[in-house]
């Protein structure tokens, strides 16, 4: 049985007062009877503060991006080793905003995936199709291509130390959620793709859904066989909404 994971991608939001309030709100709503895990993904500058606020709690800490390089003359970049050094255990790679706004292609995403693992971080590999791609009936082709690029570069064993997040681009921040059937169908396809190479790793792999998850639509999504939690953007910015989603995960 895969433990569900509720991960909050804060994106570029918040200042210190909000960070403190949000973490306090999350911690006060943690429930020992819930099996699900919680992760927060703050902007880089707040990682040390969040790490200290989370001290001795089960909440996981991740970053939103990393460099493909380990160190050197890469002004403005942040290495995976630095993220591990300041307390992160996870990092997003290939979020659709990185792919579309910062020109990250499958090859760069695969390099970042490998860089994360080399630094001892678990990558959360984000994949998903645009509205045009879905309308053209290309969803499976696009998503399986995004997965294949990483499988090729990292090998299937690497998926034993990774998480996948399916985030249809048309559902991110739009209020338009994929239906549980739409999401389940892509999640099952991803798991089958990994299972072709290693059924055990595929069976253990957590595949999160992201794209306008809210407290009132979360339970239906999380009830599906291959949906192992959520990557939450907008609704992760208030503890009430975020932890409402956690409650829905059981
Ligand atoms: P959203 O964002 O929940 O605001 O749609 C999800 C994400 O981009 O990770």
Q: What is the dihedral of CA 149, 67, 8, 14, to 10 degrees?
A: -150
* Inside any domain, residue 127: yes
Task: Kindly list the catalytic residues.
Answer: 95, 167
Residues 6+ positions from 226 with CB-CB distance below 8 Å: 184, 187, 188, 190, 191, 207
Q: What pLDDT does residue 223 have?
A: 98
What is the Å distance from ligand 1's center to 40 Cα? 13
Distance 82 CA to ligand 1 centre (A): 25
CATH code where residue 118 lies: 3.20.20.70
Sign of the C-alpha dihedral computed for residues 220, 41, 171 and 108 taken in this order: negative
For residue 47, being part of any structural domain is answered with no
Query: What spacing in Å lies between the alpha carbon of 232 and ligand 1's midpoint?
Result: 5
Whether 24 is covered by a domain: the verdict is no
pLDDT tens readout for residues 92-139: 999 999 999 999 999 999 999 999 999 999 999 999 999 999 999 999
* Total number of domains in the chain: 1
Q: Which residues of the chain have pLDDT under 50?
A: none
Q: Residue 187: give the domain boundaries.
A: 61-234+244-249
For position 152, what pLDDT does the model report?
A: 98
Atom of ligand 1 nearest to the CA of 236: 3
Identify whether 132 is part of a domain. yes
- Would you state the pLDDT for residue 161? 98
The predicted structure's pLDDT at residue 1: 79
CA-nearest residue, atom 1 of ligand 1: 233
Domain-embedded: residue 128: yes
Mutation probe of ligand 1 site: the residue of 164, 165, 232 with most atoms within 8 A of C-beta: 232
């Amino acid at each position: 049985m895969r433990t569900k994971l509720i991960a909050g991608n804060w994106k570029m939001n918040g200042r210190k007062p909000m960070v403190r309030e949000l973490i306090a709100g999350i911690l006060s709503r943690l429930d020992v009877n819930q099996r699900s895990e919680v992760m927060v993904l703050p902007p880089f500058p707040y990682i040390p503060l969040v790490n200290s606020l989370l001290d001795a709690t089960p909440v996981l800490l991740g970053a939103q991006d990393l460099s493909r390089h380990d160190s050197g003359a890469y002004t403005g970049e942040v290495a995976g080793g630095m993220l591990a050094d300041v307390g992160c255990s996870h990092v997003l790679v290939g979020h659709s905003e990185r792919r579309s706004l910062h020109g990250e292609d499958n090859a760069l995403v695969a390099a970042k995936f490998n860089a994360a693992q080399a630094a001892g971080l678990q990558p959360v590999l984000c994949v998903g199709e645009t509205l045009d791609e879905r309308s053209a009936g290309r969803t499976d082709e696009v998503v399986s291509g995004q997965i294949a690029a990483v499988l090729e570069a990292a090998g299937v064993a690497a998926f034993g130390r990774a998480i996948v997040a399916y985030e249809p681009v048309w559902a991110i921040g739009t209020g338009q959620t994929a239906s549980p059937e739409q999401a389940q169908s892509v999640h099952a396809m991803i798991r089958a793709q990994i299972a072709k190479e290693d059924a055990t790793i595929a069976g253990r792999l957590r595949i999160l859904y992201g794209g306008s998850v809210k407290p009132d639509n979360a339970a239906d999504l999380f009830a599906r066989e291959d949906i192992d939690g959520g990557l939450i953007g907008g609704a992760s910015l208030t503890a009430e909404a975020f932890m409402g989603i956690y409650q829905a995960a059981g």
